[in-house]
Amino acid sequence: MGAGLCGAGAGSPSSYGANLRALAVYLLVFQHIPVERTAILLKDVTGAEVSTGWVASLLPEAADLVADSLNLIRALLTMGHVLHADETTTRIGSVRRWLRVACTDFLTLLHLAPRSRKGAETGKVLPHFRGVLVHDSLSLYAGYDTCTHQLCGAHLIRELTAAEEDFPDQKWHQQIRWALAGLNRQAVRVRNREITEIAPDALLLQYEAFHQGIKVGLSLHPKVPGRKQSPARNLLTRLRDQAHDVLRCADDPRHVPFTNNCGERALRPVKTQLKISGCHQSETGAKAWLGVRSYLDSARKHGLTAFEAIHRAFTGNLWMPPIAQTT
């Protein structure tokens, strides 16, 4: 088994073959196994006595190998009809850093960036995107006026549920939540091809409930002097002023999703990595890990296994996303 993985003449790091190198990166990036444990596992399973330094050196090597695929992924994301954007925190050493994702059901791009408009643009996707951007209500996304927006309905429903806990004697939050959930159910039926469109009378009923709920809520939470307003007032104002961005999924139910679950799912492996392997010790290492993870996630969305995808990179048969992406 060791010879099959390492290749003929194995015995020194320079002679380890593509199979072993791919397996090491697969364990590091996809299975979240720390460097030291990866070296032990490789020795136990294959007989190759690799060093932790050799294992660690494979991440930047793999990132270089998948760079062409990532460039195409980035270009295809900018040209898509719908794009999901989300962010979370990670750690590099003792420093907290912001991590961003731009993704679709078929492509993923993760990158480090400050929590700012300028930081978001370092991914080189958002400034060029012209479709529908799905996101939470982070204010920096509102500045992108060359695209249209869909606010994550799941976030809004959570906020409405919190408002219900704070004001159990009021009903506006229940009414708005009912309207949003109803529109989402109808949109899901359209995407599942159970119906061809949301019936006009159903749309009208949900829209009226949505807007009436906001009107009642605002009357119960009037504006107070000063800039700072209550969370309930801020939520209601956002729902009123960005109603088109809340309800866009009902305008195009076949393509525009109600939630930003796609973006949230893409970020979960980073949290898993932190829990299992701990934080990265350098920005270079973090960027390499994120690049390889972006490549693996994108390839898996097209039916490849993670090991197959990274093995192709190490054997000169790099996976490239198809130019024609399904929306």
Tens-digit pLDDT profile for residues 45-100 = 999 999 999 999 999 999 999 999 999 999 999 999 999 999 988 877 778 888 89
244 vs 240: CA distance, rounded Å: 9
| Residue 280 pLDDT greater than 80, yes or no | no
| Residue 216 pLDDT greater than 50, yes or no | yes
Percent of the chain with pLDDT over 70: 93
Percent of the chain with pLDDT over 90: 75
| Residue 15 pLDDT greater than 70, yes or no | no
90 torsion bin: left (phi>0), alpha (psi -120 to 50), beta (else) = beta
Q: From residue 93, how far is each of 32, 36, 73, 285 by CA, in Å?
A: 17, 17, 29, 11
* Residue 224 exposed, middle or buried by CB count within 10 Å (0-12, 13-18, 19+): exposed
- Work out whether the CA dihedral 115, 118, 119, 120 comes out positive or negative: positive
| The predicted structure's pLDDT at residue 117 | 77
| The predicted structure's pLDDT at residue 137 | 83
Over the stretch 90-145, which tens digit does the pLDDT of each residue have? 877 778 888 899 999 999 999 988 777 777 777 889 988 999 999 998 888 888 88
